[in-house]
Structure 1
């Protein structure tokens, strides 16, 4: 591994850069970000060695970590400019539309659709840290369409960063992420909004907030610039998830309204089984 180029030097792209530099000491990383401050911070923090919008022809890997609605055009442009030995990887949170759009690209074999299940509620290069990716799941889609020898370059990086690989079809990926990731962000944003609206009447409401509220609303601090495009790109799956969520909320509201204490206890006890599922995943 000699050269990597990263476009999008925020939390994810920056963490990839920092982690890769720890593992490959002779590695040269070029980078680009539309935000000039991010570029300056990336230099100061040692993420990139030089600034350039497009990679050199002998670059091994191009990693794209920009908002979901920019990735299709960006991957296509990078493939057009890539050398024959360059693999282009996107890290977007939606995979269906981009895989479909790039299916007929003449350099499709030089593209790998990826999504690391890693992140925090913070954004920008100053939020990045090399341990972000350690032992996290990296989902890869349509592996059979990527050149075998180029995939070896990706495997070398993923193995060095201790990523756990999972393989999914793009449509399956988008449907499952709508429920376990995208819906939770919407819930957090809307809980935050509800409490902010209440604060207009009661300025001291946050004095009552404990750790439960803080953990539940944590994701409401996430970047709107990243999440609004995700909600748009995966809207049909998210709408399905929201419909089920809203229905469950309405049913539970009815139990509260009718003071059905035993029914509430029973339902919550059944939901407690998620604890065992999550414990197995940790």
Structure 2
């Protein structure tokens, strides 16, 4: 694929860096310009070959066709309106954050709202920074496009192409409110429970040597997300607090049910509950 599009990426970490790798490899982007206020990240992104060059934001805005904002979600609410203020009529901006409702509110009355497309590529790891960028991270994964009716049709088509042709992702569509509900139930609860389990083990098992010796693949896979960036996830938990509280209440009630069944010796009933949980495999194994 050959393209003449110049893409700017604000925030060259796991997601931004991986997008740069994918868009350059597929040829969707003629050039990827890095925009990052973190000087060590700037230098490392260039050393790793994630981007073609670095520019300050005001200079990058003079030449880019598409801007990808891959910064923590609290920053997005402040950044996006100011960036849109500086856009010409042909430029497009997207963000890749894990919460959508605050951004929807921040931009709903902006005169250039149609040049913004709200997206969430559903891929990642527990690592962060330029070193965490992975070639092929997004291939075969799903990307959510939110509130598509609020974006210019041509802008939306361009971003659909970015994800489908540039990153080889599958697209799904929903509104911002639904997105935040579903990600709380599926993604955000997984992270907060992983953090909680890791802290529980660290509190109860003071012998670090025993944790290292006895931890097997089950434990490692369950607490993997606890290695994620607290700075990133505290902002997501805060922004999606209402939905997260709802699913946390359900999770705590389930744990209390299990505890009650064990205390009463009702292991046949507990076995039934565990068997019900096995059904998640049927859902996740769909082709």
Q: Give the shorter-chain TM-score range.
A: over 0.9
Matched, 1:98 2:115: no
* Residue of structure 1 in register with 2:83 after alignment: 78
Shift of 1:129: 1.3
Moved more, 236-245 or 268-277: 268-277
- 1:18–1:129 Cα contact (<8 Å) kept: yes
User: Normalising by structure 1, what TM-score?
Assistant: 0.96
Shift of 1:202: 6.9
Residues in 1 aligned to 2:223 and 2:136: alpha-carbon distance in whole angstroms: 24
Distance 1:253 1:138, change over 3 A: same
* Residue of structure 2 in register with 1:48 after alignment: 51
* Residue of structure 2 in register with 1:62 after alignment: 67
User: Deviations for 1:202-253, whole angstroms, at most 9, x for unmatched residues?
Assistant: 7523322211101100100111111110000000000001000001101111
User: Normalising by structure 2, what TM-score?
Assistant: 0.94
Query: Partner of 2:254: helix, strand, or coil?
Result: helix
Shift of 1:92: 0.6
Shift of 1:156: 2.3
Matched, 1:188 2:194: yes
Distance 1:202 1:30, change over 3 A: closer
Runs of 4+ in structure 1 displaced over 4 angstroms?
none
Matches within 5 A, 1:225-240: 225-240=231-246
Matches within 5 A, 1:240-251: 240-251=246-257
Matched, 1:39 2:42: yes
Matched, 1:220 2:223: no
Q: Number of aligned pairs?
A: 281
- 1:57–1:86 Cα contact (<8 Å) kept: no
Residues in 1 aligned to 2:105 and 2:142: alpha-carbon distance in whole angstroms: 23
Residues in 1 aligned to 2:138 and 2:221: alpha-carbon distance in whole angstroms: 21
Moved more, 11-20 or 52-61: 52-61
Matches within 5 A, 1:138-153: 138-153=143-158
Compute the RMSD of aligned alpha carbons.
1.5
Shift of 1:35: 1.8
- 1:59–1:85 Cα contact (<8 Å) kept: no
* Residue of structure 2 in register with 1:179 after alignment: 185
Query: Partner of 1:66: helix, strand, or coil?
Result: coil
Shift of 1:199: 2.7
- 1:59–1:83 Cα contact (<8 Å) kept: no
User: Deviations for 1:246-279, whole angstroms, at most 9, x for unmatched residues?
Assistant: 0110111111112211011111111111111111
Shift of 1:25: 7.3
Query: Partner of 2:200: helix, strand, or coil?
Result: helix
- 2:41–2:130 Cα contact (<8 Å) kept: yes
